[in-house]
Structure 1
Amino acid sequence: MKKQTKFRILFVSVLLFNFSLNFAQVGIGTSSPNTSAMLEISSGSKGILIPRVALTSITDVVTIPSPANGLLIWNNGLGGLSAAGFYFWSNSKWNQIATVSTALPSSGSWSTSGNNIGNYSGSGTNLSLGTSAYDDLIFKVNSTTVGGLGVNNSVSFGKLSNAGQDGVSIGSSSGAAQSAAAMGNNAKANGYQSLAVGFEAETTFNNETAVGFQTKTSGQNSTALGSGAKAQAQFSTAIGYNASTSQSNAIVLGDNNANVGIGTSTPNTTVKLDVNGQYKLGINGSVQKSQISFEVWPSVSINNLPAGNTTTMNIPVPTGFTPSSTRATIIVTPASDFAGNSTFSISNPRLTSTSNITINLTNIAGNAQSLNSAHFYITINEF
């Protein structure tokens, strides 16, 4: 009788368990499972251990044959698919469940909701970061907008930066018009297809370029390069510190204090242009190496040269003014205080060496003449 009673109790228990499986929820660790769940597991010190498998690839259907959509597993990374983690089967491939670092603020995190499937080694995986909706992607820090990628192909980064269609604006309070680019705090590219680079660099009209600290352009197709440079006329170019143009098609190098050097890093500070090398002036001009000019008071001693007679005189070339060769034309001009201005003529100046000039002196007076001092201006054109 006792054995029969135990059997009846066991039969009723199994019957009640089957009834709960068919018509209610199953709770493990809880006596009141949530009505929205088929299974609720409750524990304060234990978790659920998902099956651990070794997937060979994201399209592996051998390790688990015919996987159902939504199937969840833990890949241990030992079978060929090296990234360990949770994966679920969907769209004929294993998709890894992305993780977010616990170091991120609890108030929010990045969202990867784009739809680029990859083109190269990542083909078949979702690699994009962004949105799939037709709207700008905005970046914020402490709830303040600091950048954005616009649906009109604009790019802006920096507090209060803004860019028009196809424009790029980088820097605090920077701004770029359509197809323009501004880079630097307070940089403004206001003209179509213009470029402003540098702190407070600014363009005004189309196709202008301003590069440098506080550079400004205000003429179409004008260019300003260098700190404080200003190109204020159409097709003009201002290059160098505080260079400024106010006339169309003009090119200005530096301000009033500039010394321009070509072929030298140390242009002479007493001149505006210092060219180290050959140069050519004019359409039909010849190529010249250098032009050297200096003033001399050479020693001379001519005593009682008869009328009509000619003698020679040597003029040493001062140190620092010597040409590189004797292939040159020489111009010797007597100064106003030259003692022989009314009695001697000068002819046939020539370089007898790179350090000496020889001239002919002819007595043009009607009687014998002497000369004991000289003062000349000399120019050497080397070619």
Structure 2
Amino acid sequence: MKIILKFFITLFMLLLSKSQFAQVGIGTNGPDSSSALEVFSDSKGILMPRLTTIQRDAIAAPANGLMIFNSTTNDSELNIGTPSVANWIGVKTNNYFAQLGIGTEVPDASSALEISSNSKGFLMPRLTTIQRDAIAAPANGLMIFNSTTNDSELNIGTPSVANWIGVKTNNYFAQLGIGTEVPDASSALEISSNSKGFLMPRLTTIQRDAITAPANGLMIFNSTTNDSELNIGTPSVANWIGVKTNNYFAQLGIGTEVPDASSILEISSNSKGFLMPRLTTIQRDAITAPANGLMIFNSTTNDSELNIGTPSVANWIGVKTNNYFAQLGIGTEVPDASSILEISSNSKGFLMPRLTTIQRDSIALPANGLMIFNSTTNDSELNVGTPSVANWIGTKKPAFPMIYSDSGISELITSGAASLAASDLTVSPSKGSFLASFNAQMSGATYTTSSFDSSIGVTHLKNLYNELTAYAGGQPHGLTFGSGETLAPGVYDVAGGPSIAGILTLAGGTATANPIFIIRATGAFTTSVGTKVLLTGNAKPENIYWVCGAAMSTAANTIMKGTMLGGGAGAGAVSLGADSELEGRLFTRLGAITLGANVLINSPIENNPVNLGTLATFAMWSSSGGVSDVATATTNGDAGTAAGVLSMTGMHTGTAYPAGTQGGTVSNISTTTYSIFVNGIEIENSRRTVKLEKSLISLQTMVTVATDNTPVEVRWSVDKGSATLTNRFFSLVRAEH
């Protein structure tokens, strides 16, 4: 009994002593100064009274703020009502915190959560990397503070495949969009909203001035002055300026620290543009009292728009959908009737885009007529070229001549030539684009020819025989050719009557463009049946000559190449056997020429290495003897005789000249050609051809000279005979100005 009495006395004294303390600590001897009760433990929690819903509702007059654990709903509950009318809310079953303010009883209407403090921050759950990775199915958007990396982290992955990114260790926010998942490519930060704004930290002037070393560029909202403020000073000497209380922005430069003196606002950039507010037509029309001159980008019409109406009666016009700017006046409400754009000012100028030469040349497909100010050359420039081939010209006086010219001093006579020859008119301008002009008087563009005469044919064949027999360098060869033999170019002499059997190859090789083959014999020439003369390399029929002092004949089915000339020293009839082919000519000085059945002769049309004179177009000619074919023969080329009967009954293409044909001299008009060359290369489409005896010659074309002192010249030629040029004048007029 004494023991029990002693216990109660001790307990009473203990409670009496405790009631003297306004602060109580459980698990700590030093409760926090701001608390009435602090419960501290590293291993245990606090257990509130556990009641069912029925037991909770049986509490008489529960106090406002009374807390219990409801074992029916398995939720902590708080009475936010009065003792007479209780209102129990649970942590997990009640939406009371749809808007929550921490540090403020009235969170901002546009926020779900507002944390307000002048002295404290927000502490996220602190986990190591191991603890973070042990989280089961972390939600997309879950945030923690990683104490291993000392970095705030965000899961941008999925619950099944987490992807943690840190504020300081990840470049995910190199481009950040708020209210948009795809920020504009030209922006580092884009904030997009149709209903909310951007809320800067709100500080009083006293709180602002208490910031330690505020950074240059730091921005706050001053709730004392009700103004947005910017520190344009340094961390050690702050200089706060406000949007409405400071005239710092009387001139504003974006992208430049020194806006042009004549501008209120200058936006300078080589890579980015200006992004206006983007609104749909519905959002635009919802603007309250839009100011006259207000500009937006209408994402419905995909057009920039301007309100030219009043705040009460808006009138939105678009750049592409409205013809309001068919005439535009800047600085004047009534632009001149002849102008699309009139800029009027008594004190300011027009500032074109300023680019260096490198930046100008980086413009993709600059339009014809595009203008810029070149800061490298300190000159306004205009593209007079095309988008694909720009040609920039400046407005400053050029430092080079505008006109280059040259004139001929005396008559210039040119003789027939296959190619254009350089004349005496050449100028060497500095680089640029020019209009080239050439003028001259041409006369005497003629040449003479003689129509065929039988006596002249005799003389020309004699001259040909003498030229071929006089060729030096002859080497001896046996009487027999062919049977697989290959003969190199050269002169071959045969003592007696040569013959060809089987296949004979004349190998022209590639070392010489027109190798010559001359085979000379004193006796009669023959071939075996089916003989073939083949050509390889550069060997050509017009460069092959079979010369014989006597008769020449081929057996049936022979294929021959070259000119066959017989009867050089005596009687020398020439004939081709049936079904033979000759790519060449049949000539004889004394004797008849005959063709067998189905013979084919094609006279060469290329230039000859020896002088055939008037016989160059002939397939058959006899200076003394008849010339005849048969009905089944085909001859391509002229045919004739000086003494004898000419009988062409087969297929004949060419002119037939019977014995006694008389000819004479004929005057013909030459063809002259003119063209302009730059550095030895002909200008495309500058060539002109004239087939007149005399004429005024005029050429005009555009030329481009890439480097200084490049020669530009006129070249000309006459195909046959000669022609004379007088009063020659060649000029280049610069086209850039």
Q: Which TM-score bucket, shorter chain as reference? A: 0.3 to 0.5
Larger radius of gyration: 2
> Normalized against structure 1, the TM-score is what?
0.38
Q: TM-score, normalised by structure 2?
A: 0.23
